[in-house]
Amino acid sequence: MSTASASPHYLDYFPLRVIPPDSQDALYKAVFNWIDCAQCSNAGKCGAGNCLWTQKRILGLYHQHYVDLTSCCSPRDWGTSHLALRSHDDLIIIIRLIENQPKTPRDVLIKKHFESYGTSQPIDVEKGRAFDLAFSTLTMIPCSESNHHLNSEPIAVWVTWKNDQTAEQLVRSTIPKATFMDPGIACRVLQSVSAEQLELAKIKIVATHKFHKHLYFDPRLRVVHIFVHVGFLRATLNARCDAFRPNNDIVPRDLALETIYTVADVIFRRTDFASSEVAARIKCDMGFLDFNPSQWSEDGDAALIGFPYWGRRLSILLKEVESARRKSGWLLLLKKRFNENGRVMIFIGVLTMVVAIVAVVYQARPGAADVKSRGDEAGRCGKANETYDGSIML
């Protein structure tokens, strides 16, 4: 009996299935560099204008995603290895380590963290999975070492964090920054690439929780993915910097800002009711409605509409919208021509049918057949007379 009571319960292999309230606050402090508020005790209900905890209201979608991400987290081989993540606190410690040392290679960070485990060392695979989960939580870019051979999409669903690679390098290679978009093309994007226009072009808009899949267009399915975690991006912009824990911006601020801009002023357009309805339908975080990205840009709107991160994907969507618009234009022109000439065409058609019916009726009359037979007979007689007269002359 004592042996049975000492054996672990299967729930023990799901140590992150529940997140305590204090761990939730610790998560926000780790990911967004928030500091404790003495006035509201981190409840977010104080009147202090600089209290970052008031933003907890916009992180509901991110919190639910974190719960979904961690609640089923479990070792692959139960009972054969010590747990790499014994609680949410272990995961949060790893997040802090990655954020504070974004230029340190992954293998160095792993070794440094698990030194504190002493003789209860997890196997290497579980150590790597713990750091992958921490990176995914910190950046919203899903990270995994396995199952890449099952991926059939042109864009990787999961990214791989190599041992000699830093967290900063991984983010910048996954979402690279390119040159600024041509101003003329940028203006056409702002005019044409909205949720309403995309749907008119028969492109379906779907939500994604994967940051690097934002604005990715699948031409085979005619689906475009929109990153819906606006609250996460806003909190990233509002991250607190202090002398003890400087914000190293693993997720670059200009990337977060440009992403919000593409959601708020390009795709779902705060002033466009039809496009905003699409945002609500796909359960997008509606925090973009009261957010003005241009107020956060150091260089104003000019820097935002350059789209150095998402310009290539926006250009693809622009081509799809304009191509669909040209096809629609030809159809409208044909329809207009038909409407203009429709009555004439109908009159000609009716007249042709009347003439055909009259001809059929006339041919079907009994007298018409007799007249025709007499005419044929007279013709034969005349032909015979001509032959006869000819023979006499000969």
Supply the Cα-derived Rg of the chain in whole angstroms.
37
The arithmetic mean of pLDDT across residues 288-292, rounded, is 81
For tokens 């404790």, the residue is 36
Residue 357 has pLDDT above 70, yes or no: yes
The arithmetic mean of pLDDT across residues 318-336, rounded, is 72
What single-letter amino acid sits at 324? A
Task: Tell me what pLDDT residue 151 has.
Answer: 46
Q: Which of 108-122, 243-257, 282-296, 300-314 holds the top average pLDDT? A: 108-122
For tokens 């203009």, the residue is 340
Task: Tell me what pLDDT residue 392 has.
Answer: 38
Q: Which DSSP state fits 227? A: E
Question: What size, in residues, is the chain?
Answer: 394
Look over the chain and give the mean of its residue pLDDT values, rounded to a whole number: 81
Distance CA 263, CA 205 (A): 12
Task: Tell me what pLDDT residue 302 has.
Answer: 61
Mind listing the pLDDT tens digit for each residue in 40-52? 888 888 876 778 8
Task: Tell me what pLDDT residue 1 has.
Answer: 41
Question: Does the reported pTM lie above 0.85?
Answer: no
The model's confidence at residue 371, banded by pLDDT at 50, 70 and 90, is low
Distance CA 95, CA 100 (A): 9
The arithmetic mean of pLDDT across residues 264-286, rounded, is 87
Question: Rounded to the nearest 10 degrees, what angle do helices 88-100 and 106-114 cross at?
Answer: 140
Determine which of 47-56, 247-256, 284-293, 340-349 has the lowest per-residue pLDDT on average: 340-349
The model's confidence at residue 154, banded by pLDDT at 50, 70 and 90, is low
Task: Tell me what pLDDT residue 172 has.
Answer: 95
Distance CA 255, CA 141 (A): 13
The model's confidence at residue 354, banded by pLDDT at 50, 70 and 90, is confident
